[in-house]
Amino acid sequence: MNEPVEHNAPLLELKNLHVGIPGRRGSVDIVRDVSFSIMPGEAFGLVGESGSGKSLTALSLIRLLKKPLKVSQGQILFKGDDLQNLTDRAMRQMRGDRIAMIFQEPMTALNPLKTVGRQIAEMFVLHKGMGWAEAGRKAVDALASVHVPAPEERVRAYPHQMSGGMRQRVMIAIALACDPDLLIADEPTTALDVTVQDEVLKLIAELCAARGTAVLLISHDLGVIANMCQRVGVMYSGRLVEERDTYDLFADPRHPYTKGLLGALPRLGTRHGAAGRQRLVDIDSLIKDRDTLLQEFCFEPRNPVRDPRLRAGMAGGVE
């Protein structure tokens, strides 16, 4: 992706975001105190394991959190305005038009009963006020822009008639139809084969760079993040534990969890000779020294159990 366009104001700014389940004695927070900002045209990566809160952070941005989850504290500033102050109707106009999202599994995100052309055209009708005929013609262009072969015929295809890679391309076409300012891609290639993943990632990078769209890429794959993003945030247990330039993060990880995550990954080219196999780092064994780590780095055990007595009992458990 190209150099980010230099602007003073960030496109998106999260300030001390907490997401949780409201309860009688205050909210039980799952995402805690997350702050980061994305500049226009920049690609920002959020990396972490399942349950680290990266998807909840993304869903809270576009108000797609399922009940009873709620943003309990903090601000979500998009171009300087807090998205939480928008009405539901204004938010609906924002989604898809200014902020678009690509999901992990394109088959469940697409409507199986409508042709892909109609699903793309819908974006133009809803957000740009076009008629269906004109929108249909624009859909062909949109499909061509994501390198789907024979777009004139493919607009009439249903999602089940396409391969996984093609469906994800359709998702990208829908997401980028209205030239959004921010594209949220939540594990966009996890369900795809490696060679198809490569093509889809290149497509996202290419299209977003050409349109100046900022990307919030969520992935558990450090390799994907490294290749796509200029800055990375590492999430663990609902907190952002490290947020750095991609190069700095991989060259010199500071937080023990980031170090563990990088050491736990069997990386190409790290095995040297017959005996050169290094044992992979077991992150959970790091957590056992948590008393010292906790004070310095808020490196807590996974289960967010609030009772300190329970927590003490958990320290010796497996996984």
Q: Binding residues for other proteins, per CB under 8 A?
A: 49-50, 193-195, 197-198, 201, 220-227, 246-247, 250-251, 260-271, 273, 277, 279-284, 318-319
Nearer to other proteins, 50 or 87 (CB): 50
Q: Which is nearer to other proteins, 194 or 312 (CB)?
A: 194
**CB atoms near residue 27 (< 10 Å):** 17
Nearer of residues 129 and 266 to other proteins, judged by Cβ: 266
Count of residues in the chain: 319
Rounded to the nearest 5°, which phi and psi values hold at 26?
Answer: 90, 170
Bridging pattern class, strands 12-21 and 28-38: antiparallel
Asked if residues 30 and 53 have their Cβ atoms less than 8 Å apart, the reply is yes
Q: Indicate the residue among 96 and 256 with the shorter CB distance to other proteins.
A: 256
CA 52 – CA 303 distance, rounded (Å):
11
110-134 core/surface letters (b: 16 or more CB in 10 A; e: else): beeeebbbbbbbbbbbbbeebeeee
Q: From 235, 244, 169, select the one nearest 201 (Cα to Cα).
A: 169
**Nearer to other proteins among residue 153 and residue 282 (C-beta):** 282
Closer by beta carbon to other proteins, 77 or else 196: 196
Buried b (16+ CB within 10 A) or exposed e, 75-96: bbbbeeeebeebeeeebeebbb
**Tokens representing residue 301 in the block:** 């055990």
Running DSSP on this structure, what letter comes out for residue 310? H
Tokens of 106: 């394109």
Residue 278 phi, psi dihedral angles, 5° rounding: -90, 140
DSSP bridge partners of 103: none
Nearer to other proteins, 136 or 253 (CB): 253
